[in-house]
Structure 1
Amino acid sequence: MERLQKVIAHAGVASRRKAETMIVDGKVKVNGEIVTELGTKVGKNDDVEVEGVPIDKEEPVYYLLYKPRGVISSVSDDKGRKVVTDYLPDVKERIFPIGRLDYDTSGLILLTNDGEFANMLMHPKHEVNKVYIAKTKGIPTKEQLQQLKKGMKVDGEYLKAVHVKINSTETKKNTAIVQLILHEGKNRQVRRMFESIGFPVDKLKRERYGSLDLRGMNAGDYRPLKPHEVKQLRQLAEQNVE
């Protein structure tokens, strides 16, 4: 038996807090009866409806995918392009990506059917480290990279890196390999930040997400997360969310 709001959150309908509001507002039915008591617990055989729509009570699953470039971080695409779920054809649960990686960015992305877990990791205060490796056109100076750490407004949006360092440079080709650590994951954030200091990004890869990395994996590979990995991510997110 699990609390009703947790079951609703796991189904990806809403965050747990939003689910609690829906219950109190009389928008949730259990076995055909409206339930407004937050302490209500339900089992696998109970039928739960939210605003008249039955929810599926799948077992929660968690996967790590090494997303190739040229793939959409979605479950479908109206232009017929490849999406991340195409790489997990054997997974029967209705999974979705947690956050997104841009079409032309490769690297680590998580997929799950656990809406509560996804909402927790995407919470703006979660502060889970995301490590990116960027290949820039041109070699930025230390002073220019410091601008990324200080933060900047780009198109009216405040963008900031937690840590930045140059891993290597190639003078003849005038390129640099730069490591960045972000806490947020705004649309095309790394590319926009580098463009704002005059160094377009040629290639971009997310190498780490919290305690997870891509060791032993090739682009297109996926694997289920181990129970202790899921637990570590929950702890990382929960310690920074009030």
Structure 2
Amino acid sequence: MTNNGERLQKVIAQSGVTSRRKAEQLILDGKVKVNGETVQEMGIKVTANDEIVVDGVPLEKETPVYFLLYKPRGVISSVKDDKGRKVVIDYFNTVEQRIFPIGRLDYDTSGVLLLTNDGDFANLLMHPRHEMDKVYIAKVKGIPNKKELALLQKGIRSDKDVLKAVQVNLLSTDHQKKTSIIEITLHEGKNRQVRRMLEELGYPVIKLKRERYDFIGLEGLNAGEYRALTPKEVNQLRAHAQKL
């Protein structure tokens, strides 16, 4: 431990073990050791020469990696599933780092999902105050009118939540099949938010896809494929979140 170096909770988060917030709690709970000594105070700084053990497991600092996955429907946005269902990590068998999804997409929702082993980066993007655009395309039963679509931006009450869209566009309608295609932009990401909002209006979702996360889209990818984000994309995402 030293006055130089980086804060312990940041180093733990960057290792991919957990987020910085959870790392802080692990420290407070006495589950972190530095050079054999239990540390329970914030602000401790460490260097690459320090030996760090988190909850009994030695910390190995990994190189940060960042990926975009075109998540298919019928896949869990998790590292593992106790029911044995397919999870997004199954698509990354050749990746050695311990990556995890940034946020989640519902089991039946496809589209853009970012994954990383950088806990600080994940927290930055997921924090509600940073208002990152998340754009969804929903195919629904029925054809809503302008007043109903406007309600999505004013706020829809569902259980104890008030769910709001940032922007809503009716892209197309099929009067013969009585279906519509709606584009919805969110900043928050509450559980099944798009589906709940539309169901409350009486327009059940038939199919849902996240088309874009900020400026990151699915160009060049098929469902189940992934690519590494470029350093420029990572820096832009970070800058957008910090600016917002």
Decide: shared fold, TM above 0.5.
Answer: yes
Does the aligned pair in 2 maintain the 1:69–1:106 contact within 8 Å? yes
Partner of 1:192: 196
Aligned mates of 2:80, 2:67 — CA distance in 1: 18
Aligned length: 239
- The 3-state SS of whatever aligns with 1:231 is helix
Deviation at 1:220, TM superposition (A): 0.7
Q: What letter corresponds to residue 40 of structure 1 in structure 2?
A: K
Instruction: Say if 2:43 is the partner of 1:38.
Output: yes
Structure-to-structure mapping, 1:112-151, within 5 angstroms: 112-151=116-155
Deviation at 1:239, TM superposition (A): 2.6
Give the alignment's TM-score, normalised by structure 2.
Answer: 0.89
Partner of 2:58: 54
Does the aligned pair in 1 maintain the 2:17–2:98 contact within 8 Å? no
Aligned mates of 1:32, 1:19 — CA distance in 2: 18
Stretches of structure 2 lacking an aligned partner (at least 5 in a row): none
- The 3-state SS of whatever aligns with 1:49 is strand
Q: What letter corresponds to residue 68 of structure 2 in structure 1?
A: L
Change (3 A) 1:33 1:129: same
Partner of 1:71: 75
Q: What letter corresponds to residue 203 of structure 2 in structure 1?
A: F
Aligned mates of 2:91, 2:12 — CA distance in 1: 27
Instruction: Say if 2:184 is the partner of 1:174.
Output: no
Stretches of structure 1 lacking an aligned partner (at least 5 in a row): none
Q: What letter corresponds to residue 222 of structure 2 in structure 1?
A: N
Aligned mates of 2:227, 2:55 — CA distance in 1: 35
What percent identity do the matched residue pairs reach? 64
Change (3 A) 1:90 1:13: closer
Instruction: Say if 2:87 is the partner of 1:90.
Output: no
Deviation at 1:46, TM superposition (A): 2.7
Instruction: Say if 2:187 is the partner of 1:183.
Output: yes
Runs of 4+ with >6 A deviation: none
Does the aligned pair in 1 maintain the 2:137–2:208 contact within 8 Å? yes
Does the aligned pair in 2 maintain the 1:24–1:38 contact within 8 Å? no
Give the alignment's TM-score, normalised by structure 1.
Answer: 0.90
Partner of 2:236: 232
RMSD (Å), alpha carbons: 2.1
